[in-house]
């Protein structure tokens, strides 16, 4: 079974930065499309960013464009989400998810999910 584990969350002041990591347990990592999602209290889960197996990336919400960057290091079986200029409204549990065979523009659901990591932006 594919396992994903997020790390790098924590408490940061507005305007600060965090880098989240998503590590996968399988050697098939290179073939996976990886998405970052987040869920704030009282809100629905939303897609934040996505990166395909070929390295093409997409930000999924306008609110993070210019501030968040997704990247991958296949040698380390890891995908990163660099978050800069953080705002209180970025506070949420952040999840990484994986799917094989299809890319970021596909409507196919992500079948594999990590347990999430808390990001809190507050003074």
Using the predicted structure, report yes or no on whether residue 107 has a pLDDT greater than 80: no
pLDDT at 122: 97
Among residues 37, 27, 112, 38, which one has the least CA distance to residue 77? Answer: 27
Q: How far apart are CA 32 and CA 18, in angstroms?
A: 24
pLDDT at 106: 81
Q: How far apart are CA 18 and CA 90, in angstroms?
A: 11
pLDDT digits (tens, 9 = 90+) for 11-54: 999 999 999 999 998 767 888 999 999 999 999 999 999 999 98
- Please provide residue 89's backbone torsions phi and psi, each rounded to the nearest 5 degrees: -70, -10
pLDDT at 58: 87
pLDDT digits (tens, 9 = 90+) for 47-77: 999 999 988 998 889 999 999 999 999 889 9
pLDDT at 28: 72
């Amino acid at each position: 079974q594919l396992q994903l584990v997020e790390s790098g969350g924590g408490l940061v002041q507005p305007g600060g930065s965090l880098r989240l990591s998503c590590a996968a347990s399988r050697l098939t990592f290179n073939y996976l499309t990886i998405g970052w999602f987040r869920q704030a209290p009282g809100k629905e889960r939303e897609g934040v960013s996505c990166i395909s197996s070929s390295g093409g990336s997409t930000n999924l919400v306008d609110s993070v464009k210019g501030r968040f960057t997704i990247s991958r290091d296949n040698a380390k079986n890891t995908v990163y989400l660099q978050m800069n200029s953080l705002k209180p409204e970025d506070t949420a549990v952040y999840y990484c998810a994986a799917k094989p065979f299809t890319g970021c523009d596909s409507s196919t659901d992500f079948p594999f999910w990590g347990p999430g990591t808390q990001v809190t932006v507050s003074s």
